């Protein structure tokens, strides 16, 4: 094999690994746990911002502090995911030890994602055709974006819990837009709800993963 062919083969292997990493990233529930932690951090931030009095020093700090909190929360969630995978996932199934799903399972994944997408589309259509006079778009738009993102994840993973989370997240965003709360409190409730749902879903997924994949020394006892 020439150096060029070897380089092309290595590049192909890297791309294949990247695709499989994305496809099975939610298998052990750890990314959902990290997402839950990140969402809870944002929820607490928006709660503080919503409760801070107008034109106060605290409100000013919250107004200018979103980007640092966002970046710090993202960094903390990423480090948490890396640490959990290193301690729980890699010793059991390696960096990537997942098989490509059978055709029947891929069809089920597509149907699951299609049903979730249909429910979210129906929710959005009902919302747009009967908008109330007082409506805050931010939670609804955020919820629909989260929902669509999770639908894509459910298509790639085939996990029922991800599809359910997609529909619940979109519904939570729309419901909070109709609640008429202060903007900061709406976002606090939304991210808090997303965080709790993601943590519960991730912990359930991690529990199932650990049961299916005991450590080698545990399985040999």
Domain ranges (residues) in the chain: 3-219
The angle, 0 to 180 degrees and rounded to 10, between the axes of the packed helices 137-157 and 103-129 is 170
List, for residues 74-100, the tens digit of each pLDDT value. Answer: 999 999 998 998 888 888 877 654 455
Lowest mean pLDDT among 2-6, 68-72, 106-110, 113-117: 2-6
Return the CA Rg of the chain. Answer: 21
Average of per-residue pLDDT across 17-42: 76
User: Look-up: residue for tokens 């109709």?
Assistant: 178
Mean pLDDT of 189-208: 91
> Do residues 169 and 146 make contact, with C-beta atoms less than 8 angstroms apart?
yes
Is residue 126 within 8 Å of residue 170, measured between CB atoms?
Answer: no
User: What integer pLDDT is reported at residue 83 of this predicted model?
Assistant: 92
At 79, phi and psi to the nearest 5?
Answer: -65, -40
Q: Residue 9, class by beta-carbon neighbours within 10 Å (0-12 exposed, 13-18 middle, 19+ buried)?
A: exposed
pTM metric for this prediction: 0.70
| 118 or 52, higher pLDDT | 52
Nearest to 120 by CA among 94, 146, 96: 146
Report how far residue 41's alpha carbon sits from residue 73's, in angstroms, rounded to the nearest whole number.
6
Residue 3 scores a pLDDT above 60: no
As a whole number, mean pLDDT of residues 61-80 equals 90
Given a contact cutoff of 8 angstroms between Cβ atoms, the answer to whether 200 and 168 are in contact is no
């Amino acid at each position: 094999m020439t150096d060029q062919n070897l380089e092309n083969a290595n590049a192909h292997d890297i791309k294949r690994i990247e695709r499989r990493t994305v496809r099975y990233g939610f298998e052990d529930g750890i990314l959902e746990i990290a997402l839950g932690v990140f969402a809870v951090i944002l929820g607490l931030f928006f709660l503080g911002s919503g409760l801070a009095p107008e034109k106060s020093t605290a409100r000013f700090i919250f107004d200018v502090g979103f980007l640092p909190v966002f970046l710090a929360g993202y960094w903390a969630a990423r480090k948490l995911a890396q640490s959990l995978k290193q301690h729980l996932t890699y010793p059991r199934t390696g960096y990537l030890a997942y098989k490509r799903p059978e055709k029947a399972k891929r069809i089920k994944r597509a149907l699951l994602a299609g049903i979730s997408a249909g429910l979210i589309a129906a929710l959005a259509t009902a919302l747009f055709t009967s908008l109330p006079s007082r409506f805050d778009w931010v939670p609804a738009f955020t919820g629909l974006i989260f929902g669509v993102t999770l639908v894509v994840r459910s298509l790639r993973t085939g996990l029922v819990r991800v599809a359910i989370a997609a529909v619940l997240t979109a519904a939570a965003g729309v419901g909070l837009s109709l609640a008429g709360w202060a903007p900061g409190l709406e976002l606090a409730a939304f991210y808090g709800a997303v965080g709790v749902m993601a943590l519960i879903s991730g912990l359930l997924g991690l529990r199932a993963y650990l049961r299916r994949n005991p450590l080698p020394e545990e399985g040999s006892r």
